[in-house]
């Protein structure tokens, strides 16, 4: 049922005269997350395609290695064993479609040229904006998966004080976090886990390396779990040892900023307003100018799922959107604090989906 409703919504959002939508995957690093949105499948589906029409079953063209895993009765499965078969199958399914929606966001150029060649009479229309818009508001099943991913991330965040130790490297702890997520039911990590010790925590997208943990360091952990292709995204920052006065001050400001973000999600109209509320608070403290990124982003099948809480984002807040709220303060050469949680917007209220302790913890 949920697939039918997603497809209905997608065609309604597109609101253009199109006959079909073609979602085409390429190799493993170029899989379109929208493939999972319209099929509800889990797997990889390299080179495969999903083709949808208004009021019809979903067509999935999959290699013989993966087609056998598809057990959904709402899906018409087509198997390809060679590039030629893939070509013939897609051509056959779309033989009477003249206007075909494609997702420019995730369709690689080589495949675009290839689709044009095999369907010479069809007009390909970019509907990436509409796809992103349709995916913004989550249905019940999506919320369920995201909540599971959030529960796993929260549970692991709670365990971090038990796994870090003197002299541990960032990469070692990143590996342990990812292992713990698997032990707690994750299928994979949501993205490259960030572990940043000491002054590295002042770099919002630090690449974890061989830096070792020392007494007095900030220790920042940004990670997420994947469940049925849906993701969570959480950040916690601890002090390893006793916090200095400055560390306490930074932490307090970031924690207050996050609360302002939560409140703003209930009161504001646009994404931008939430960000400005958080940023203007931080800029009124002694850490003016030290919050250097957006307040958050939408979350779902992709970590950055289309919408962003930043300046210029006129997108409207609406129920069933899932967003991160992740203010930070970064002092070069000292370190930084970021606290990030995932939030589901409901009618006039919010539900915080990641519930690991947000207070300053000294380990
Ligand atoms: Mn995030």
Q: Could you tell me if residue 95 is inside a domain?
A: yes
CATH number at 325 reads 3.90.230.10
Please state whether 136 falls in left (phi above 0), alpha (psi between -120 and 50) or beta.
alpha
Domain boundary among 82, 112, 135: 135
Residues 116 and 144 in one domain: no
pLDDT band at 15 (very low <50, low <70, confident <90, very high): confident
Asked if residue 362 lies in contact with residue 238, where contact means CB atoms within 8 angstroms, the answer is yes
Interval between CA 323 and ligand 1 midpoint (Å)? 9
Residue 362 lies in a domain: no
Instruction: Say which residue, 68 or 178, is predicted with more confidence.
Output: 178
The mean pLDDT value of the chain amounts to: 97
The CA 210 to ligand 1 mean position distance, Å, reads 23
Residue 13 CA to ligand 1 center (angstroms) comes to: 26
Per-residue pLDDT, 57 = 86
Query: Domain limits at 342?
Result: 140-352
Q: How many domains does the chain have?
A: 2
CA distance 2 to 39: 10
Two structure tokens written together for 186: 């994750």
Same-domain check for residues 47 and 69: yes
Residue 358 lies in a domain: no
In a domain, 360, yes or no: no
Judge if 119 and 256 occupy the same domain: no
> Residue 223 C-alpha to ligand 1 middle, in angstroms?
8
Q: How confident is the model at residue 1 (pLDDT cuts 50, 70, 90)?
A: confident
Do 85 and 147 lie in a common domain?
no
Cα-to-centroid distance, 127 and ligand 1 (Å): 26
Give 110 Cα–ligand 1 centroid separation in angstroms. 31
**Residue 47 falls inside a structural domain:** yes
- Grade residue 16 by pLDDT with cuts at 50, 70 and 90: confident
Of 135, 165, 195, the domain-final residue: 135
- Give the whole-angstrom CA distance, residue 275 versus residue 316: 13
Among the candidates 135, 163, 185, a domain finishes at: 135
Nearest alpha carbon to residue 353 among 325, 328, 331, 330? 325
User: Do 73 and 90 belong to one domain?
Assistant: yes
Cα 234 to ligand 1 centroid, rounded to whole Å? 7
The pTM for the full model equals 0.96
């Amino acid at each position: 049922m949920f697939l039918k409703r997603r497809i209905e919504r997608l065609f309604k959002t597109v609101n253009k005269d199109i006959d079909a939508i073609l979602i085409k995957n390429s190799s493993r690093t170029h899989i379109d997350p929208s493939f999972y949105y319209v099929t509800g499948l889990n797997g990889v589906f390299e080179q495969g395609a999903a083709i949808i029409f208004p009021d019809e079953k979903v067509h999935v063209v999959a290699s013989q290695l993966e087609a056998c895993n598809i057990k959904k009765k709402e899906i018409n499965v087509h198997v390809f064993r060679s590039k030629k078969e893939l070509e013939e199958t897609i051509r056959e399914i779309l033989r009477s479609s003249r206007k075909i929606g494609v997702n420019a966001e995730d369709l690689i150029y080589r495949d675009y040229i290839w689709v044009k060649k095999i369907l010479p009479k069809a007009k390909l229309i970019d509907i990436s904006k509409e796809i992103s818009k349709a995916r913004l508001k989550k249905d019940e099943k999506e919320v369920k998966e995201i909540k599971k991913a959030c529960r796993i991330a929260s549970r692991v965040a709670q365990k971090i004080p038990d796994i870090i130790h003197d002299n541990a490297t960032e990469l070692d702890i990143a590996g342990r976090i990812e292992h713990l997520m698997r032990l707690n039911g994750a299928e994979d990590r949501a993205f490259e886990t960030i572990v940043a010790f000491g002054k590295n925590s002042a770099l919002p997208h630090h690449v974890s390396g061989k830096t070792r943990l020392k007494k007095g360091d900030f220790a920042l952990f940004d990670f997420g779990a994947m469940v049925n292709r849906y993701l969570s995204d959480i950040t916690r920052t601890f002090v390893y040892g006793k916090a200095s006065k400055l560390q306490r001050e930074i932490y307090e400001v970031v924690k207050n900023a996050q609360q302002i973000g939560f409140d703003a999600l209930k009161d504001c109209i646009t994404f931008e307003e939430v960000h400005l509320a958080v940023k203007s608070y931080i800029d009124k403290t002694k850490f003016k100018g030290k919050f250097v990124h957006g307040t958050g982003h939408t979350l779902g099948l992709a970590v950055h799922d289309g919408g962003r809480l930043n300046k210029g984002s006129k997108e409207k807040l609406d129920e069933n959107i899932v967003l991160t709220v992740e203010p930070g303060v970064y002092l070069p050469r000292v370190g930084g604090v970021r606290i990030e949680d995932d939030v589901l917007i409901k009618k006039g209220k919010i539900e915080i989906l990641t519930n690991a302790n947000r207070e300053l913890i000294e380990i």
